Amino acid sequence: MISCAQAIVVEGRYDVNKLRQLIDAPIFETSGFGVMNDRALLSLLRRVAQVRGLVILTDSDGAGFVIRNYLKGALPKDRVLHAYIPDIPGKERRKEKPGREGKLGVEGMPPEVLLTALKNAGATLSDTPQDAPKGEPITKTDLYALGLSGCPDSRERRLALQKRLDLPEHLSANALLTVLNVLYQRDEFLKSYD
């Protein structure tokens, strides 16, 4: 698996799944055009860009460019890289027919094409972990110990924490763990959690 020093933002969950098979990095999804109406997600992406840097990797169709251009205007330009995939005709395996423009999206791209796109964008890629944390990462066990997972009221506790930290409401426990590890060191987070 290849490590990427920057976090990556893609359009949808199938794109996330594809990249998680290739890249060791935090990967966030825009939920398509959903990011345009989700101030909390946009705020999170700004914070991630400031802390770690961000690579925008959208489909090469018109919708992908609308999302990319929106993010381009909303995120700090000096902390964002743009990775572009080529126009390759086809359809993704899970779909019955091609999209409106008949192009493969991120999820349908061969792995070498995605890695080339990230390299060409200037992403810092390595065969070994890039950003070893400055201490132990926050773990699922920590979330369980804090009552943020595995308890009857875990969802409500996560929602309260997400609100307090100004994070999007619709984060799963796994997504919350990813975000926390990008934004906080374990000791700092555990001390601040009530």
The token pair at 10 is 């893609």
- The pLDDT of 4-14, averaged and rounded, is 95
Q: Does the structural domain 2-126 have CATH classification 3.40.50.300?
A: no
The answer to whether residue 53 scores a pLDDT higher than 70 is yes
Question: How far lies 25's CA from each of 28, 120, 181, in Å?
Answer: 10, 17, 11
Give the Cα separation of 179 and 35 in Å (integer).
16
Q: Establish how many alpha carbons lie within 13 A of residue 67's alpha carbon, considering only the half-sphere containing its beta carbon.
A: 24
Is the CB of residue 14 less than 8 Å from the CB of residue 92?
Answer: yes
Give the start-to-end residue ranges of the domains of the chain: 2-126, 140-192
143-171 tens-digit pLDDT: 999 999 899 999 999 999 998 888 888 88
- The pLDDT of 178-184, averaged and rounded, is 90
Buried b (16+ CB within 10 A) or exposed e, 22-35: ebbbbbbbbbeeeb
- The pLDDT of 38-52, averaged and rounded, is 93
Of all residues in the chain, the percent with pLDDT exceeding 90 is: 65
